[in-house]
Amino acid sequence: MLPDKKKRIGVFFCHCGKNIAGGLNIEALIESSKQIQEVSYVVDNKFSCSEDGQVDIQKAIQEQKLDRIVVVACSPSLHLMTFQRCGEKAGIEPQFVDLIDIRKWTMHGSPQKIAPEKALEKSKKLIELAVKRMRLKRLIPMAEIKTEQSALVIGGGVAGLEAGLDLADKGYKVHIVERLPTIGGKMALLYKVFPTNDCAPCILAPKTAYANIHPNITLLTNSEVKSMGGYIGSFHVKIVQNPRYIEADKCTGCGECVEKCPVKVKDDVFSAGMGQRKAVYIPYDQAIPKKAVIDAQNCLYFRKGVCRLCEKQCPTNAINFGQKPKTVEIKVGAIIVATGFDEYNPTEKSEYGYGRYNNVITQFQLARLLDIDGPTKGQLLRPSDGKEPKRIVMIQCVGSRDVSTNPYCSNICCMYALKHAQIIKEMVLPEAEIYICFIDMRTVGKGFEEYYSRTREIGINFIRARPSEVIQDTETKDLSLKVEDPEIGRLLKLEAGLVVLSCATIPSSGTEQLSKTLGIKLDKDGFFKEMHPKLRPVETNVRGIYICGSDQGPKDIPNAIVQAKAAASCADTELRKNKIKLPQFIVNASKLKKGGR
């Protein structure tokens, strides 16, 4: 066997202005790199990623006859593709271009910043390992695969619908999987949206209606993704469709079965625990698909083997108590995850009395009470006695900006508190006194600061402080709390008929399990992690799987839609190629796995 041809490896150092050069002895790194086996050329550059820097690298590759290069600069998630394209132009296979990050140890503000002496030693070792890896690396055989011209969208909220419709309009077949019986997500359960106070269902309804009839979209409600295999262009996904116990193709949504059902239970989902529904129910009037669903846990037939009134009443014989979960297998080229968020349960913040006092509710519960299609038909009534509260106190940042729960800002809490205060003052209870207790009022979106100003102008009271414990009067069920008002310099005791907690937005339930199923990473707060927060905000560590909306982090509706469009665009960019090159071992591994199932 002939010995391997000696490699000619080039090492290129980037100063990154002063981000690297200001904290490292570049000359010392250059001298140590020259001593590494099979390093043929070493040079530094002020900005390697600049146009001039890339031209210099290409010239060096050609003049020095380099066949492999290591760029010593910043994170691969930032510029690996930049340098791979640069090397490819000069005749080097992208596989033989590497980028290693030493900037993390030197850049001001980096959480990994260390002393210059330690940074120098770590950099030397990292460069030596990178060169060794490049010296021993062999060309990986590539396979060309045909991309499936279809996509899976997980989540039927506003972000998922936007991404799905964008791709469907481009001609791709789209499967939208939603674990609830209806699409629309949280937005479908809002009354108004800030900063225009438009009707939320009016804005959403065209999207839900179009998704329901779009020839390229298949809606899979009451469904969950159970397994995934394959790779970009050819993902194999198993979806379990849970039974409605209603034949959807027969159900007309007439509601006669609902009317006859004798069982009433608390509706924790579509009324946020503020109202009731039947054991057989249609989620809400504008639900899509508008089909009934039977709650087997509370249905008398499933629990005790009696009743069946709904079956007798149904004019189309749509009731089917024998329905079983159904497994659907699909093959898609790309996956977009848009699973939304949940509202933080403030029970553990015991000082506010949530769960103990009926008249302490959350902002999402308030949204359902203010909705004219909600449990109280838009009347703001106290849960304890059904009376209108004369004074309402809202407490901001419950469960967010708090190191004991969630350290991040939840982004939308300030704005929806302002929105609800406006609705109450202008449309529901004009005489009510409303206080908003806040740490900082964060109104950074377009038109948001003006919205805040308007809220102040109509007589809403703002106190920059976090209240103390909420106490309930056992007879009247009124609430009291103390808060230090810095503007007047004294302690206030506020009496309230209703206390509303502005709670954190947290990852939706099932996020952790879905991350394992898809193989995509979570960030420290439990949201899906993007490849890079600035340059690749909707891409994940798995090529072909994208994220958008509040499952990537707290955000409002406009930003969720922007991300959805970005995710759809990324998927389209890959799918429209029709053919993609992938390492042969990935394709082979997927075939072996599939054959073993």
pLDDT in tens, 26-59: 999 999 999 999 999 999 999 999 999 999 999 9
Whether residue 320 is contained in a domain is answered as no
Q: What is the predicted pLDDT for the residue at 564?
A: 98
Cβ–Cβ < 8 Å for 318, 250: yes
For residue 489, count CB atoms less than 10 angstroms from its CB and return exposed for 0-12, middle for 13-18, buried for 19 or more.
Answer: exposed
512 and 479 fall within a common domain:
no
Residue ending a domain, choose from 462, 490, 506: 506
Considering the domain boundaries, does residue 250 fall inside one? no
Among residues 235, 219, 239, the alpha carbon closest in space to that of 227 is found at: 239
pLDDT tens readout for residues 459-482: 999 999 989 899 999 999 999 999
* Host domain of residue 498: 342-506
Instruction: Name the pLDDT band for 85 (thresholds 50, 70, 90).
Output: very high
Same domain, 436 and 525: no
Specify whether 98 is located in the same domain as 231: no
More confident residue, 481 or 597: 481
Q: 197 and 53, same structural domain?
A: no
37 found inside a domain: yes
pLDDT at 437 over 80: yes
Q: What is the structure's pLDDT at 231?
A: 96
Domain membership flag for residue 333:
yes
Residue 128 belongs to a domain with what CATH number? 3.40.50
Assess if residue 596 is contained within a domain.
Answer: no
Secondary structure class of 366 (helix, strand, coil): helix
- At residue 573, does pLDDT exceed 80? yes
Instruction: Give the tens place of pLDDT for each residue, 164-201.
Output: 999 999 999 999 999 999 999 999 999 999 999 999 99
- Across the range 384-398, mean pLDDT stands at 96
What percent of the chain stands above pLDDT 90? 92
- Domain co-membership, 353 together with 490: yes
Residues 564, 425 share a domain: no
Asked if the model's pLDDT at residue 446 lies above 70, the reply is: yes
**482, 506, 530 — which closes off a domain?**
506
Q: What is the pLDDT of residues 58-74, one digit of tens each?
A: 999 999 999 999 999 99
Are 347 and 335 in a shared domain?
Answer: no
Output phi, psi for 455, to 5 deg.
-65, -40
Would you state the pLDDT for residue 348?
Answer: 93
Tell me whether residue 431 is in a domain: yes
- Segment 333-378, tens digit of pLDDT: 999 999 999 999 999 999 999 999 999 999 999 999 999 999 999 9
Sheet holding 471-472, edge to edge: 471-472, 479-485, 490-496
The per-residue pLDDT for 489 is 74
Element spanning 10, H or E = strand 9-14
What's the pLDDT tens digit per position in 145-163?
999 999 999 999 999 999 9
Q: Is the pLDDT of residue 528 over 90?
A: yes
Domain end point (choices 139, 164, 184): 139
Alpha carbon dihedral 434, 438, 442, 447, in 10-degree steps, equals 10
Calpha distance 216→211 (Å, rounded): 9
Quote the Cα angle for 141-147-150, to 5°: 155
User: Nearest-CA neighbor of 298 among 263, 259, 260, 247?
Assistant: 263
200 and 298: one domain? no
Q: Are 89 and 18 within one domain?
A: yes
Query: Are 361 and 416 members of one domain?
Result: yes
The pLDDT, as a whole number, for residue 1 is 39
167 CA to centre of own chain:
19
> Does one domain contain both 390 and 471?
yes
pLDDT of 590 reads 75
| Neighbour order of strands in the sheet with 173-177 | 217-220, 173-177, 150-154, 334-337, 545-547
Which residues, listed in sequence order, are joined to residue 582 by a DSSP beta bridge? 143
> What average pLDDT does the segment 247-251 reach?
96
pTM of the model: 0.91
Spell out the alpha helix ranges (H) of 70-157.
76-89, 116-136
- Report the pLDDT value the prediction gives residue 593, as an integer from 0 to 100: 64
Confidence of residue 4 (pLDDT cuts 50, 70, 90): low
CATH number, position 452: 3.50.50.60
Residue 595 placed within a domain: no
Q: Is the pLDDT of residue 205 over 90?
A: yes
- Number of domains observed in the structure of the chain: 4
Nearest to 396 by CA among 550, 504, 292, 322: 504
Distances in whole angstroms, Cα of residue 585 to Cα of each of 354, 518, 590, 593: 54, 19, 8, 12
| Same domain flag for 548 and 414 | no
Instruction: Give the model's pLDDT for residue 597.
Output: 44
Average pLDDT over residues 288-316: 95
**Residue 156: inside a domain, yes or no?**
yes
Position 492 scores a pLDDT of 86
How many Å apart are CA 544 and CA 232, to the nearest integer?
5
